[in-house]
């Protein structure tokens, strides 16, 4: 039994501004041995009809997986003589503060860092005789692979590898790795071993699945094989016979599938553990080879890096943070709210998926917390907070092919309705008069507008930190009087209205004009997340606390869809489905599932409810109205996980700072756009101008006019062109601030409109293949090593348009790179100049209003784009 300690930091107002990186399990390494009597010396095993596994005893033994179409390219391989499965049992501490989380590995009690292989065989059907045959040495009461899994979702024939994980302190015979036979060892105190199973099965033509399960620790065997020299795991000096005794504060037991104890957070609690309680490992590690020059891309929506070689990437949904390492704002955010600044790894939408420059790709299934460790030049280790793991290894000859194979399984978004990508989505607040006033100005400047997004449709209230929304999802008829008439008037000009909601509800007893109190309704229906006392869990959110919908409850979806239905009945055609990243890890859910893995699943459940409503609404329409794309609904969200592209229709990147900085500003919005695209998020965009402004006496982040205008130019080449006033509208330059900003907004909206025809094509392709609209150059030029080092500097729209945005203050020119592997020249849209040399760089002038954009010379897309620019009068 492991322990889970949860420490709440919500109300701690003076904190370390430079918090340390959360401590995690160090890289575990051990030896691999194999039984020469039961394991063949060298053999190729077929796994399904398209994959092969090669077992070789060279240099101590290794495994390699190949696709039969490329028998010389290893998709995945272990390190000769090194354990590829290891396990540990340790304590977990989670520090939580308002949607920010730090997960720490504390005391390590057990580590099995060495591995043996007893058997490798192909089975053609669920083979319980095989299972019993390999489990006869386990102590009574231990469950077998088949009993625990029921061979669920396994495709036969499958390949199964079995053996032991072990640790020992002293041995009679020294052996480094490789073959063993009848070797015994001695220890002081009980040695530890555990049975493991690894299963490979073909899932489809281009994916091979893997499962790893580690059995319970066994302290009572007497002549079990563990011949390899353990040495001492220098970072983990533990003694099996002397488990450390600790003082225990009060604690409470929860029933969890992985068997942990939830410890209260009021003080520094410690827990006494005895050998008899060590019933299950809670860490399993998979280690395999990597090349020193191999680049790793993906891992969901990442904001600071494109390539993750040399880094440890945690996969956990949370707030991205305020600053994420950019100073001085990260310092200030951490000081006043625990870890609120975040760091380079914090993100709303991570994914346990990657692809490499060597065309290797892997992803994990399930929702357990995991860490991908790529700090070693020759190997990768994935640490999973569980005693089992499932995943898939992908085959593909190009990055685009890998994305297509990946999204074939996890899911792809539907085609977006044309109206959302036909013009500007104008983010506004202020009420009916403010909307009508700005609408008149937009008409005067002939701005193509597709929708008004009215975040404050629910009304606002004054709190200690300023104006905040009432989280009660119905229109505030005082702020938006004549709501229905406003929607009708806009609709008459083919302009839709969009609103805002999230899965949290605030008590509204003090709201003067409410019709429904959704918090009280949900509380009465018992569909709110509960705390350990069985009461609604009130989650701190800035100046007020909120209840959170329990999306695992069978009644929640129907109730919330009815809330959405009332909104749509008024004529609303879209909404922001915000949040989803803040489920407390000590919450009690209706499903009874582990709240840490449920935390990662929550944003997918949130997307699923919204998506189901959209599809059900569409199916309820009749005739032409049902098929008309102008009638379709759409929602967009920021939180996500691996399968979110299946459920989410459209994403946005959350709350960037209104700054030029790299980790949390305009540059990070490009990195997030491109990394998420590699990870299956085909439709993404950011708030024009960023969101988060700061107006403190000594630290000020205000949106400048130049930043706003450059961000307009950038987002004119993303899937959706949407503005946001930000968290402090009065501190920010707005598109409607003056004639200059309004004229520039009109110009950029027309620039966005000019490639509408191509955007439609790319949206269709994304729904069919999963390819993103905005693409890192790696997707189409993977053999150009110069492309590998690019992050935010430039990107592609499809294959035909190259964008080199201006992302630095005061810059009037930028350096463009023209990749190797392209047969045609690139043409600058403003000057018409051709750039013919492959693999070359060039400085290009970029005054405000003329973002450096290039088209493939002679392409139909490029010529049509340029012609549309002329027709709009901006070229």
| Catalytic site positions | 578, 581, 655
The rounded distance, in Å, linking the Cα atoms of 775 and 781 is: 11
**DSSP E strand stretches across 375-434:** 379-384, 388-394, 424-428
Element (H, E) at 110: strand 100-112
The rounded distance, in Å, linking the Cα atoms of 25 and 314 is: 12
Angle at 40 between CA 79 and CA 230, to 5 degrees: 45
Angle at 640 between CA 409 and CA 337, to 5 degrees: 155
Tokens of 392: 């898939």
- Dihedral sign (CA 745, 746, 747, 749): positive
Beta carbons within 8 Å of 489's beta carbon, 6+ residues apart: none
The secondary structure of residue 304, as a DSSP letter, is S
Contact between 177 and 366 (Cβ < 8 Å): no
The rounded distance, in Å, linking the Cα atoms of 284 and 273 is: 20
Upper half-sphere CA count for residue 713 (Cβ side, 13 Å):
22
The secondary structure of residue 458, as a DSSP letter, is G
Residues listed for the chain: 875
Contact between 391 and 107 (Cβ < 8 Å): no
**CA dist 242 to 26, 190, 503, Å?**
22, 10, 47
> Which of 528, 509, 606 lies closest to 564 in space, CA to CA?
606
Beta carbons within 8 Å of 465's beta carbon, 6+ residues apart: 542, 543
339 phi and psi, to 5 degrees?
55, 20
Angle at 44 between CA 127 and CA 183, to 5 degrees: 75
Beta carbons within 8 Å of 690's beta carbon, 6+ residues apart: 655, 656, 657, 658, 659, 665, 666, 669, 703, 707, 711, 726
302 phi and psi, to 5 degrees?
-110, 140
Tokens of 291: 């090349």
The rounded distance, in Å, linking the Cα atoms of 153 and 367 is: 17
**CA dist 618 to 164, 363, 629, 637, 677, Å?**
54, 33, 10, 20, 27
Output helix, strand, coil percentages for the chain, rounded to the nearest 5: 25, 30, 50
Beta carbons within 8 Å of 59's beta carbon, 6+ residues apart: 80, 81
- Dihedral sign (CA 742, 746, 747, 751): positive
Contact between 362 and 393 (Cβ < 8 Å): yes
Contact between 655 and 579 (Cβ < 8 Å): no
> Which of 121, 89, 97, 103 lies closest to 16 in space, CA to CA?
97
**CA dist 865 to 382, 450, 689, 806, 854, Å?**
45, 20, 25, 21, 11
The rounded distance, in Å, linking the Cα atoms of 315 and 320 is: 12
Beta carbons within 8 Å of 234's beta carbon, 6+ residues apart: none
């Amino acid at each position: 039994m492991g322990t889970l300690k949860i420490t709440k930091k919500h109300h701690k107002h003076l904190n370390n501004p430079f918090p340390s990186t959360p401590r995690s399990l160090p890289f575990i390494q051990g030896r691999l041995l194999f039984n020469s009597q039961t394991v063949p010396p060298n053999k190729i095993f077929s796994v399904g009809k398209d994959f092969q596994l090669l077992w070789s005893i060279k240099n101590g033994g290794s495994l390699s997986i190949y696709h039969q179409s490329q028998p010389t390219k290893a998709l995945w391989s272990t390190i000769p003589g090194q354990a590829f499965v290891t396990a540990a049992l340790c304590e977990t501490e989670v520090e939580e503060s308002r949607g920010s989380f730090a997960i720490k590995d504390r005391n390590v009690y057990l580590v099995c860092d060495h591995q043996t292989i007893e058997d490798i065989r192909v089975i053609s059907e669920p083979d319980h005789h095989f299972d019993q045959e390999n489990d006869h040495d386990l102590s009574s009461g231990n469950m077998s692979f088949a009993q625990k899994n029921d061979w669920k979702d396994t495709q036969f024939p499958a390949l199964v590898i079995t053996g032991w994980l072990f640790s020992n302190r002293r041995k009679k015979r020294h052996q480094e790795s490789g073959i063993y036979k009848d070797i015994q060892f001695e220890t002081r105190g009980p040695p530890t071993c555990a049975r493991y199973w690894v299963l490979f099965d073909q899932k489809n033509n281009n994916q091979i699945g893997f499962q790893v399960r580690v059995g319970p620790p066994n302290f009572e065997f007497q002549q079990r094989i563990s011949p390899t020299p353990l040495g001492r795991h220098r970072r983990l000096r533990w003694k099996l016979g002397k488990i450390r005794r600790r003082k225990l504060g009060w604690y409470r037991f929860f029933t969890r599938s992985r068997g942990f104890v939830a410890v209260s957070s009021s003080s520094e609690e410690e827990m006494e553990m005895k050998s008899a309680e060590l019933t299950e490992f809670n860490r399993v590690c998979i280690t395999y080879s990597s090349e020193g020059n191999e680049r790793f891309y993906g891992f969901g929506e990442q904001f600071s890096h494109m390539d993750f070689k040399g880094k440890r990437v945690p996969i956990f949904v949370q707030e991205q943070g305020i600053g994420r390492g950019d100073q001085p704002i990260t310092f200030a955010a951490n000081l006043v709210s625990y870890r609120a600044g975040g760091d380079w790894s914090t993100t709303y939408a991570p994914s346990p998926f990657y692809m490499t420059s060597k065309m290797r790709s892997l992803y994990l299934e399930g929702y357990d917390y995991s860490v991908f460790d790529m700090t070693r030049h020759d190997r990768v280790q994935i640490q999973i907070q569980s005693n089992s793991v499932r995943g898939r290894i992908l085959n593909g000859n190009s990055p685009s092919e890998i994305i297509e194979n990946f999204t074939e399984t996890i899911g792809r978004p539907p085609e977006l309705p044309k109206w959302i990508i036909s013009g500007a989505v104008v983010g506004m607040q202020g009420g009916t008069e403010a909307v009508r006033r700005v609408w008149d100005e937009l008409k005067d400047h002939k701005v193509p507008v597709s929708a008004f997004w009215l975040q404050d449709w629910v009304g606002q209230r004054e709190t200690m930190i300023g104006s905040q929304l009432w989280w009660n999802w119905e229109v505030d008829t005082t702020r938006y009087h004549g709501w229905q008439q406003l929607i009708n008037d806009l609709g008459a000009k083919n302009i839709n209205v969009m609103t805002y909601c999230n899965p949290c509800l605030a008590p509204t007893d003090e709201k003067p004009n409410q019709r429904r109190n959704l918090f009280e309704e949900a509380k009465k229906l018992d569909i709110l997340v509960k705390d350990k006392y069985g009461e609604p869990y009130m989650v701190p959110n800035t100046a007020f606390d909120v209840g959170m919908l329990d999306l695992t409850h069978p009644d929640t979806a129907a109730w919330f869809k009815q809330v959405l239905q009332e909104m749509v009945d008024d004529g609303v055609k879209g909404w922001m489905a915000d949040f989803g990243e803040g489920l407390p890890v000590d919450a009690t859910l209706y499903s009874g599932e582990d709240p840490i893995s449920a935390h990662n699943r929550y944003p997918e459940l949130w997307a699923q409810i919204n998506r189901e409503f959209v599809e059900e609404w569409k199916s309820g329409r009749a005739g032409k109205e049902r098929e008309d794309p102008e009638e379709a609904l759409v929602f967009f969200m920021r939180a996500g996980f691996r399968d979110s592209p299946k459920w989410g229709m459209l994403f946005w990147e959350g709350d960037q700072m209104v700054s030029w900085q790299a980790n949390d500003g305009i540059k990070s919005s490009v990195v997030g756009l491109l990394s998420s695209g590699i990870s299956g998020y085909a439709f993404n965009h950011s708030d024009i101008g960023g969101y988060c402004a700061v107006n403190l006496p000594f630290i000020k982040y205000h949106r400048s006019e130049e930043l706003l205008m450059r961000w307009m130019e950038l987002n004119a080449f993303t899937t959706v062109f949407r503005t946001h006033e930000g968290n402090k509208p009065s501190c920010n330059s707005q598109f409607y601030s003056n004639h200059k900003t309004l004229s520039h907004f009109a110009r950029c909206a027309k620039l966005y409109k000019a490639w509408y025809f191509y955007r439609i094509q790319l949206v269709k392709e994304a729904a069919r293949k999963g390819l993103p609209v905005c693409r890192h150059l790696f997707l189409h030029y993977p053999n150009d090593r110069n492309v590998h080092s690019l992050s935010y500097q430039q990107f592609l729209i499809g294959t035909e348009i190259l964008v080199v945005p201006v992302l630095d203050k005061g810059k009037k020119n930028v350096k463009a790179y023209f990749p190797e592997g392209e047969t045609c020249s690139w043409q600058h849209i403003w000057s018409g100049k051709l750039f013919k040399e492959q693999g070359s760089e060039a400085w290009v002038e970029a005054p405000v209003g003329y973002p450096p954009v290039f088209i493939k010379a002679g392409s139909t897309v490029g010529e049509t784009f340029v012609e549309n620019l002329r027709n709009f009068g901006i070229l």
